[in-house]
Amino acid sequence: MAAPMVKTRTPGVYKRGNRYVATWRHRGTQHKEFFRTYEEAREAKASRSSTKGDKRPTPKVRVEDYFAEWIESYAGRTHRGFSETTRPEYRRPIEAHALPRWGAWKLGDVEPGDVRELFGAVRKAGSSTSAIKKLRAALSAMFATAVDDGLLRANPVAGVRIPAGPHEEEELDGEHAKVLTRAELGFLLAVLPADWRLFFEFLAHSGLRISEAIGLTWAHIQFGENPRVQVREQVYRGKRRRLKSRSARRDIPLSPAIADRLLALRGASYRGEETPVFASSVGTELIPGKVRERVLRPVAESVGLDWAGFHTFRHTCASLLFDAGRNVKQVQEWLGHADPAFTLRTYVHLMDEGIGDAAFMDEAVRATPRATGHPVTAANGYAAQSPELALQAGILEQPETAATV
């Protein structure tokens, strides 16, 4: 029969027979270790109960308890605050994936390796990159708040990368940005119901996200000499809200033809500046899911373009912009991306392949300055402007001096 554990003056350190035992809890499990002396056991207990290099005791609050309070009170970490429509988006992934693993753990027990392991398990279960990004955003916000509250020294989610999925390489090669050719776009628009044609043509012209398009009101459309659409808000999950980022706030020019057709639509359906540009039959904002299922999908499948979705029109807009000679920075601002590097990564496959011919170099790079077509006259002009450089280049000869006669 094992000797009983007798308490000592140090909590968590016991004496059993002629040995000492240090006990601690880690990730919800009781641990113990035996030592020859009381001092060794006491030092071990202290090291197990404090963070590395920090003698403050590890907070005893459990992940599930902290989450329950945090998810109800979280108000964001920037001056923009926190949208109530985002709260369920943070609640769902943590409850589905993190709490079953870490719920009984103390906050300080969660380490970057645990986060990495969680993301890997979620990926193996078939979750998309987008779904894992939502999980990471929610966890990062929660642990960052715990750092602000003084409960943690560091956010364990910071710096943890999302594991590549089975189709990640194809996505990086642009498969996620598949576009309609001009012929496909024209054919699809032609077979759409007449009363929906302008809406989808507008998506291809403007490159707006579907949430931005259904969030447009007549106050956002500027007619006149320079017609344009002002992207200022969006409708997400049936609620009008701020845009995703500052870069999403932008003005996009309208072609004369689209401006004329929007003006005609305004004349036929206008009910005030704050009413939707593209509205339902009862004048309310469109519901993307219904438009997709009742309009876009049946038509796209009927013509063999079943892969086309709302975002396809946005990608097609980018393709048309590049085809018209717009550069990456211009396309980035048109589409409202935060970073031109993201635009380049997403649409690099739309740019011309190869290095092309060198015929343009004859005009772009030539020895004769463009001020004159005569090489002697040009050289003399260059020498007059900068005689020292001309001497170095050999355009002027070194003048004879007494020393060289």
pLDDT for the residue 121: 93
Per DSSP, the three-state class of 33 is strand
Per DSSP, the three-state class of 394 is coil
Q: What percent of the chain has pLDDT over 70?
A: 78
Domain 63-166 has CATH 3.40.50.300: no
User: With 90 as the cut, is the pLDDT of residue 292 above it?
Assistant: yes
Residues 6+ apart with CB under 8 A from 58: 49, 50, 51, 106, 108, 109
Structure-token pair, residue 357: 């011919």
Mean pLDDT computed over every residue of the chain:
81
- Exposure letters 168-204 (e unless 16+ CB within 10 A, then b): eeeeeebeebebbeeebbeebbeebeeebebbbbbbb
Fold identical between 63-166 and 176-350?
A: no
pLDDT digits (tens, 9 = 90+) for 37-85: 888 777 777 766 554 444 444 567 999 999 999 999 998 876 666 777 7
Helices (H) and strands (E) in the chain, counts: 19, 9
pLDDT for the residue 47: 65
Q: What percent of the chain has pLDDT over 90?
A: 45
Long-range Cβ pairs for the range 97-101 (8 Å, 24+): 97/121, 97/122, 97/135, 98/63, 98/67, 98/135, 98/139, 99/63, 99/64, 99/67
The fold for domain 176-350 equals hpI Integrase; Chain A (1.10.443)
pLDDT digits (tens, 9 = 90+) for 139-192: 999 999 998 888 988 899 988 888 876 544 333 333 457 899 999 999 999 999
pLDDT digits (tens, 9 = 90+) for 310-361: 999 999 999 999 988 899 999 999 999 988 888 888 887 776 655 556 665 6
* Domain ranges for the chain: 6-48, 63-166, 176-350, 361-400
